[in-house]
Amino acid sequence: MDKDNYSHKLYKHVEDQKKADALAWSFVNKDKMILFPYQFPVLEDDEVRLKITYSGLCWSDVSNCRGHWGPKTYPLAPGHEVVGVVTQLGNKVTKFKLGDKVCLGPQRRSCTKCKVCLSGHENYCRCLDPDQKLTYNLWWGGYSTHMQQPESFLFHLPEGIPENVAPPLLCAGVTVWSPIVKYITKGMTTAVLGIGGLGHLAVQYLAKLGYDVTAITSSLDKVEYIKSLGATRVINFNSKEDLKTWENKFDVILNCTSVSGDLDKLVDLASPLGRIIQVGVPDITDKLKVGNGLVGKGIKLTGSIIGSPKEIQEMLDFSDKNKIYPLCEEFDFSEFPKAFDHLEHGKPKFRCVVNIKDYSEKNGYFK
C-alpha cells in the first residue's frame, strides 16, 4: 500500500472536525479512502461555492482514484455529478444568486480562446492543464459536503428534475446526448451497446427523439425493462445467431461499454459507411482491435466525451421536458465507501447516488 498523504495545496486537512469547514471522502493513496475534514480554499472571483445535496458516482471515479488512467496525486476527492445549493458568490459572478439550486459535471473550465472553444466545443479544449480543466483532479469533486465551481460550467437545475436522480445526467446523460445530436439524423437506424449507466439513458433519448433504437446487451434479465425505456428490440451480444441476423443493419452504433475489444463485432453490425461512436473510456492498457471490416466497409470510428455547456443545457431541458431520469440506487453520505465498493465491483444495475444533504443538516455542515 502506498504511503498516506494528507497534504494538499488547496484543501488544508483539519484534525478537529469541529474546526473544519467541510468534510470529504478523500483517497490518501490509491487503496485508502478516509473521511477528510478540511478548510475551504480561496473563492476566486468567477467561482460559486455550493453545499452539495446529492452526488453521483461514476466508473471514471474508480479509474481515476485507482490509477487505471495513470499516476495520480493524492489526497484526491473525486465526484463529477453534483447537485447543490449556492452559498457564496465570487465578486464577478453574474449568472447565479444565493440559494439557487445548481448542478455541474466533469469540466471546470475551458480556455475560451482556442479554435474548439470558439466553435462551441469547449469540452475538447486542450489548452488547459487537466488540473485546471477538470472537476476531479487538483480541485476536489462531489465526494464532499461542499465544492467550488466556475460559473461558466455551472447550471441551474430545472425544477422538474428530482435532485436525487439528477446527478448522473451531468456526466452519463450529456456523454450520450452530445454524440446523438451531433451525428444522428432522421431516418438512421441506431443501436446502443451496453445498457448500463450510460446506455439506459441513450435508449431513452433516442426513443424520445423518434429513432428506431436497438439495444445490444448480454444482460438478458433486463430485456423487459430495456423495452420499457423505448427500445424497439433487444439483441443478445453473445448470440451468434442474433449477430448474424443484424449484420450490416445499423447506421450508427453507440458503444457505451468501456471495453474496446469487441469492436470487430460492432463493425460487422454496422452498415457500409456506418459510424461507431465510442463513449465508454477504456483503461490505458486496453488496446484497440478492429479487423479489415473497418476499411472494407468504410466505417467511421468516432470518439466522444461529455459535452459543451450548450449541449449540457439542451440535455437538461430535454430531460426535464420528457421526464428522462436515470435509475439510481441511493446511499447516505456516511456510506460513501460502501457506495464506491458497490460501484467498483459491478453491482449497481445502473447508477449510484449519495444523499449528502441529510448528513450535513444533521451534523452541522450546511452553513
Q: Hey, is 129 helix, strand or coil? A: coil
Give the angle subtended at the CA of 305 by the CAs of 253 and 163, to the nearest 5°. 100
Give pLDDT, residue 348. 86
Q: How sure is the predictor about 367, in pLDDT bands with cuts at 50, 70 and 90?
A: low
Tell me 196's DSSP state: S
State which amino acid sits at residue 117: C
Domains 12-170+308-363 and 173-303 equal at CATH topology level: no
The C-alpha angle 364, 6, 83, rounded to 5 degrees, equals 45
Alpha helices in the chain (DSSP H): 59-65, 115-118, 130-133, 172-183, 199-208, 223-228, 240-245, 263-269, 293-296, 309-322, 336-344, 357-363
| Three cell numbers written together for 224 | 423487459
- Mean pLDDT across the stretch 62-68? 90
pLDDT in tens, 295-322: 889 999 999 999 999 999 999 999 999 9
| CATH number corresponding to 173-303 | 3.40.50.720
Phi, psi (rounded to 5 degrees) for 172: -60, -40
Beta bridge partners of 53: none
Is the Cα dihedral 33, 144, 168, 260 positive or negative? Answer: negative
Q: Is 51 helix (H, G, I), strand (E, B) or coil?
A: strand
Residue with cell 478537529: 16
Cell of 24: 470529504
pLDDT tens per residue, range 184-238 = 999 999 999 999 999 999 999 999 999 999 999 998 888 999 999 999 999 999 9
Q: What is the mean pLDDT of the chain?
A: 94
Contacts of 32 (CB under 8 A, 6+ apart): 1, 4
CA nearest to 9, candidates 32, 35, 38: 38
262-269 mean pLDDT: 89
The residues spanned by each domain of the chain are 12-170+308-363, 173-303
Q: Rounded to an integer, what distance in angstroms lies between the CA atom of residue 266 and that of residue 63? A: 25
Is 23's pLDDT higher than 80?
Answer: yes
The CATH number of 12-170+308-363 is which of 2.30.110.10, 3.90.180.10, 3.30.70.260, 3.40.50.1820? 3.90.180.10
CA distance 127 to 111: 6
Q: Are 144 and 172 in contact (CB under 8 A)?
A: no
For helices 199-208 and 172-183, what crossing angle results, to 10°? 40
| Statement: residue 174 has pLDDT above 90 | yes
C-alpha cell at 25: 471522502
The span from the CA of 266 to the CA of 315, in Å, is 27
pLDDT digits (tens, 9 = 90+) for 94-117: 999 999 999 999 999 999 999 999
104 CB neighbour count, 10 Å cutoff: 28
Model pLDDT for residues 68-88, shown as the tens digit of each residue: 888 888 999 999 999 999 999
Identify which of 72, 50, 51 has the alpha carbon closest to the alpha carbon of residue 60. 72
